[in-house]
Amino acid sequence: MKVKITLLLLLVLIILTACESNIVYESFYGEKYPDLTPNTSPSTTCVVPSGTVKIHLIGDSITQGYYRYALFQHLVDAGYDFDYVGTADDIPEAWKESELAFTEYKGIPFDSDHDGHGGWTTKMINEDINTWFKNFTPDIALIHLGTNDTGKEMEGLLANQIANSVAEMDDIIGKLRAVNPHITIFLAQIIPVHSEGVEHNEFVQQLNHELALLAANLTIPTSPIIIVDMFTDFGDADLVDALHPNTQGARKMAQRWSDALLACSSHSSE
């Protein structure tokens, strides 16, 4: 009888354990980082050096081919002293004939340096980023990353996918700070995909929630992390296909980056 009861209890325990592994948690941050409590807000205090500011644009194809030129225009208009840095300098063919033509603006040649890598996941950026800093040290990083994470090199449940993405982003932030302990990081809550991609957008919304918690917990006065909301009020009319912004969407992204950068500059004590 005791043996039967023991076996029954063991079976119940196994079932409960299996069920727990399939729970989609409201927040995965505490599961991945049990020593951190997400009870603060992301930093709005900035650290910007005097002189030319080296801006590192990091991401996937959305960074590679879309908002860079529109942001360049905003910063030139504002008289912002900056230099895009990165290991790539390509200009997408599809944009060369558009109003975002990646050409000179107000007599200033477009600075094409960046690290937007089409199709790359957060994991892929994390694996490669340490090779990038031979010729430059960024003062500011703008990161829009995670669109490719779901269903690509990410196995298992939604919870596992998001936990993996957040852990990779944590590593990226650490590596940026290893290069420049005083770097200011602008971390995007990424744009949605087309409304037909319901499951993908569920991933995006939960990832964005977790990125805000990550920023709140990792921001420090000497190297603040500032969340930039790219998701809100960004819809199908802002997309050229299922994933990528059209001209209107690119300008919307550039405006949000610019607003955050210029607010940071105006509040800097350096």
Determine the Cα–Cα distance for residues 114 and 102; give it in Å rounded to an integer.
13
CA–CA gap between residue 162 and residue 150 (Å, rounded): 8
Q: Look up residue 135 and give its DSSP letter.
A: S
CA distances (Å), origin 42, targets 7, 151, 209, 258: 49, 28, 12, 18
- So what's the pLDDT on residue 11? 38
- Are 76 and 87 a contacting pair, CB within 8 Å? no
3-state secondary structure of 163: helix
Please state, in angstroms and rounded to a whole number, the distance separating the CA atoms of residues 121 and 164.
11
Question: Which pLDDT belongs to residue 265?
Answer: 67
Closest CA to 64 of 245, 257, 260: 245
Record the pTM.
0.81
What are the structural domains, with CATH classification, of the chain?
A: 2-267 (3.40.50.1110)
**What is the pLDDT tens value at each position of the chain, 270 positions in all?**
544 444 343 433 333 333 333 323 344 444 443 333 333 344 456 777 778 999 999 999 999 888 999 999 999 999 999 999 999 998 766 555 566 666 788 999 999 999 999 999 999 999 999 999 999 999 999 999 999 997 544 445 566 789 999 999 999 999 999 999 999 999 999 999 888 888 888 899 999 999 999 999 999 999 999 999 999 999 999 998 888 899 899 999 999 999 999 998 654 444
Question: Which residues have a Cβ under 8 Å from the Cβ of 132 and sit 6 or more positions away?
Answer: 86, 87, 115
